[in-house]
Copies of this chain bind each other. A is one copy, B any other.
Amino acid sequence: MAIRMAVIGAGRIGQIHAANAARNPAVALAGIADALPEPAEKLAGALGARVVTVEEIFADPSVDAVLIGSSTDTHADLIQRTARAGKHIFCEKPVDLDLARARECEQAVKASGKACLIGFQRRFDPTFSALKARLDQGEIGALEALSVISRDPGAPPVDYLRRSGGIFKDMLIHDFDIFRWILGEEAETVYATASALTDPAIASEANDADTTAVTLRTVGGKLAQIHTSRRAAYGYDQRFEVLGSKGMLQAGNHRPTEVVASGPDVVSVDKPEHFFLQRYEKAYRIELDHFVAVLGGREKLRVSIEDGVKALELADAATTSWRENRIVRLR
């Protein structure tokens, strides 16, 4: 019996998840919903699915699971409604920009007893997940320190940033999840500083920053540093490294090809994959397959709504640390 999955949101990320769902042989697409008719019809047409309304999805008892890929401000409401409707959830990050609201969602999901996967797709990246597996096997002994470098190729429009919740919630939410996942310990203190260096309007108009430096100290004294930037002239830079008592593991960037060019000036290779759609193409596919495997009872849920809430707690604390220029103690 196929899992009947409905998709809410036919934008960029909804398209990816819907296409991945369509190619999973255990899934039947139960409909595509979007606030705008055109993208919904286009996506439904491409995948041989039909356009439905959000209300139809929740009312349809044959729908097993809902894939929420609509805009951030709709996530919390849709999670709560889906939970109440007794359906499984795969929701893009973040749960919500407001921590209290996110915790309400967490409660609703727990009450429903259904699975809820939050879309921290990086955990499903082949390089990142292989590294994590090797940590779990003890390859580098006891973990001591984590360094994360996370840079986008370019900043989104200031208009977007104004409504984004700020760089710590919008961009670093992924890095905070990496921190929790890789070190396997919660933070005790957070210190964050940030600057607007790529475009003064990011500070003056969006009251936001584009370059950050965050330090997290875990309850066990492990140390983590995160550096992010909204702009890297050379593309999308996604690396981290973990130091342990017996060695180090590093996750490097992926490149489109393995061509090496030796010329009169330098020896060169390709830049990293352009942006997250390219870099995490496999991760998105594996993530969707994981969700299906969880619903089929073949895998254990790897990212819960609690993970989504806890990453948001760290993003909140980092925002406070930066804005109030102080070290923030968690809990």
A contact set with B: CB distance below 8 Å? 23, 25, 46, 126-127, 130-131, 134, 139-142, 144-145, 147, 149, 151, 189, 191, 193-198, 211-213, 215, 217, 221-225, 227, 229, 231-235, 237, 241, 243-254, 256-272, 325-327
Contacts and interface: CB of A to CB of B under 8 A. Distances in A.
A147 B193 CA distance: 14
A258 B262 contact: no
Given A149-B147, A234-B262, A265-B271, A245 B127 contact: no
Given A145-B213, A213-B224, A327-B325, A243 B247 contact: no
Copies of this chain held together in the complex: 4
A270 B267 contact: yes
Given A211-B145, A249-B259, A268 B271 contact: no
Nearest to A262: B234
Nearest to A203: B221
The 6 tightest CB contacts between A and B, nearest first, are A234-B262, A266-B268, A195-B221, A252-B258, A268-B268, A247-B263
B224 A225 contact: no
B212 A213 contact: no
B243 A261 contact: no
Nearest to A189: B193
A130 B234 contact: no
Nearest to A197: B144
A235 B259 CA distance: 18
Contacts of A247: 232-234, 261-264
A71 to B, nearest CB: 28
Given A222-B197, A225-B227, A259 B270 contact: no
B261 A134 contact: yes
B232 A261 contact: no
Contact of A261 (B141, B237, B266, B325): B266
A41 B241 CA distance: 47
Given A221-B195, A229-B145, A248-B232, A257 B126 contact: yes
A232 B134 CA distance: 18
A272 B248 CA distance: 13
Given A130-B259, A147-B227, 20 more contacts: A25-B46, A127-B258, A127-B259, A130-B256, A131-B259, A141-B233, A144-B195, A145-B213, A191-B215, A196-B221, A232-B247, A232-B262, A233-B248, A233-B263, A247-B263, A248-B262, A252-B260, A266-B266, A267-B269, A326-B327
Contacts of A256: 126, 130
Contacts of A246: 233, 263-264
Contact of A250 (B145, B195, B260): B260
A62 to B, nearest CB: 21
A254 B127 CA distance: 13
